[in-house]
Amino acid sequence: MAETTYDVVIIGGGPGGYNAAIRAGQLGLKAACVDKGVNGGATLGGTCLNVGCMPSKALLHASELFEMAAKDFAGLGIEVAPKLNLVQMMQQKAESVSALTKGVEFLFKKNKVDWIKGAGKITGPGKVEVGGQTLAAKAIVIATGSEPAGLAGVTVDQKRIVDSTGALSLPEVPKSLVVIGAGIIGLELGSVWRRLGAKVTVVEFLDRITPGADAELAKALQRSLTKQGMEFRLGQKVTGAKTSKTSVALTVEPVAGGAAETIEADYVLLAIGRRPYTEGLGLESVGITPDKRGFIETDHWQTSAEGVWAIGDVTLGPMLAHKAEEEAVACIETIAGHVGHVNYGVIPSVIYTWPEVAWVGKTEEELKAEGRAYKAGKFPFTANSRAKINHETEGFVKVLADAVTDEVLGVHMIGPQVSEMVGEYCVAMEFRAASEDVARTCHPHPTRSEALKQAAMGVEGWTMQA
């Protein structure tokens, strides 16, 4: 058996794995990235590029414009009668995804990373086997990501009952779609299909949507999505599903107890979270035992086995591409003898619905639970001139700052394009800025970003434009 020696072998080619490989190449380490592709495909990029962030955003963008053309253009004096071409919408998604995965391939070549196709298995300290080939590695980085979580009684067949991967490629617009789980996937993909014409009902176990988001944002989002036609059934659990050729009958019961009922839909999307993926990885060969939920525990990305590291969705923390990317860089820099660092307090979250929701730092609920004294400043987009002239006034920005030091502790926003605005506060928080620092920073006019400044001014009670 041929054996090649590497400084670092990375298992998994998603945002964790491919960024680790590129950084390793940049730092002059001899690196290989072993990836088996997602869903039978043979492209780099993992969940994010192939069946996650990117295809979902492609459909969100296209469906958003479709709905705007149908509902908002006339008010701007543009008369059109949009007609859906679902095949083309899927095609443009596939083309963008393909360009992105090829981009990662190019970056591997540029940084002299060997891309080894196939399933990698750790067979002992410093050894990874792929399709009969053994790679010797001074360091192994596990970046094998996650997969959709299942639900007893609801079998995903990718025909009538789909997970996020199936929901990204439905062959038709459902007449009715039931989404199980009012989390990020459910609301984003539910939005896509509602905009294209489906009647969407979301069944959620908890009595609120988007757990983890600030409660005020979650309420505002639910109100807005309800107004758009999405129906929410909170505090309900799905106990079974019967599938026929053309529809699904779901049995739903109130969590608090009460009579069960049946909801019929032609498609069901199961989106109740994701779980870490370590199948066939050979963890036992190096003595790693995942925690109860299957996550690999780490200390500064180092696992309990010497020379074996882990990053991204397979480890604890938010399951987000940018979290995986930060960990990739920090992990490789540590392996290379530098000091790697991730500020877990400043990892932003975004829900790409309309309006978008974005936040970073602590929620009001978290600050209250910690007993931390804070002040809040809030600014509505109804008072923002750019939002007003664009007829997109929904939402607000809320800034939470320490009552004594004025340090920004959390920022929560809902409104069109807030995904592009939250980064400003990430930078501010990395520099441990006070709300006054943002309040006294000149922002361009007219932009939505002025709402960020006005909300910061609100912390000290001198918001001027509302």
Residues in touch with ligand FAD (CB under 6 A): 11-17, 34-38, 46-48, 52-53, 56, 119-120, 143-146, 164, 185, 277, 280-281, 312-313, 319-322, 324
Of 99-107, 242-250, 269-277, 302-310, the segment contacting ligand NAI by CB under 6 A is 269-277
137 binds ligand NAI (CB under 6 A): no
Q: Which stretch binds ligand NAI (CB under 6 A): 82-90, 297-305, 312-320, 390-398?
A: 312-320
Among residues 47 and 384, whose Cβ is nearest to ligand FAD?
47
Binding at 33: pick from ligand FAD, ligand NAI, none (beta carbon under 5-8 Å per type): none
What length is written for the chain? 466
With respect to ligand FAD, which residue has the nearer C-beta, 14 or 415?
14
Q: Please tell me whether residue 211 binds ligand NAI under the rule CB under 6 A.
A: yes
Q: Choose, from 300, 338, 443, 445, the residue flagged as catalytic.
A: 445
Contact 356, 417 (CB under 8 A): yes
How far is the CA of 190 from the CAs of 182, 200, 396, 456, in angstroms? Answer: 9, 6, 23, 33
| Residue 338 a catalytic site member | no
End-to-end CA distance of the chain: 72
Six token digits for residue 421: 């605005």
Determine if 415 is a binding residue for ligand NAI (CB under 6 A).
Answer: no
Smallest CA-to-CA distance from 121 within 24, 34, 3 is with: 34
User: Do residues 87 and 196 make contact, with C-beta atoms less than 8 angstroms apart?
Assistant: no
Residues 6+ apart with CB under 8 A from 368: none
Task: Find the binder of ligand NAI among 35, 204, 327, 392 (CB under 6 A).
Answer: 204
**Structural Rg of the chain based on CA atoms:** 23
DSSP string, 413-446: EEETTGGGTHHHHHHHHHTT-BHHHHHTS---SS
Q: Which residue is nearest to ligand NAI (CB)?
A: 183
For 164-279, strand residue ranges (E) read 176-180, 199-203, 231-233, 236-243, 248-254, 261-265, 267-270, 274-276
Contacted by 186, from ligand NAI, ligand FAD, none: CB < 5 to 8 Å by type: ligand NAI
The reply to whether 182 sits near ligand NAI by the rule CB under 6 A is yes
By a kind-dependent CB cut-off of 5 to 8 A, residue 115 interacts, out of ligand NAI, ligand FAD, none, with none
C-alpha–C-alpha distance, residues 390 and 423, integer Å: 22
Binding at 276: pick from ligand FAD, ligand NAI, none (beta carbon under 5-8 Å per type): none
For ligand NAI, the binding residue among 184, 342, 433, 457 (CB under 6 A) is: 184
State yes or no: residue 273 binds ligand NAI (CB under 6 A): yes
Residue 435's identity, in one-letter code, is S
Q: Output 353 or 384, the one with its CB closest to ligand NAI.
A: 353
Which residues, in sequence order, are bridge partners of residue 374? 402
**Residue 394 in the binding site for ligand NAI (CB under 6 A):** no
Binding residues among 332-351 for ligand NAI as defined by CB under 6 A: 350-351
Angle separating helix axes 86-110 and 15-26, nearest 10 degrees? 30
Contact between 206 and ligand NAI per CB under 6 A: yes
In the complex, minimum distance from the CB of residue 340 to ligand NAI, in angstroms, rounded to a whole number:
22
Of residues 84 through 123, those in contact with ligand NAI by CB under 6 A are: none
d(CA 230, CA 201): 6
Q: Is 151 in the site for ligand NAI (CB under 6 A)?
A: yes
Catalytic amino acids? 445
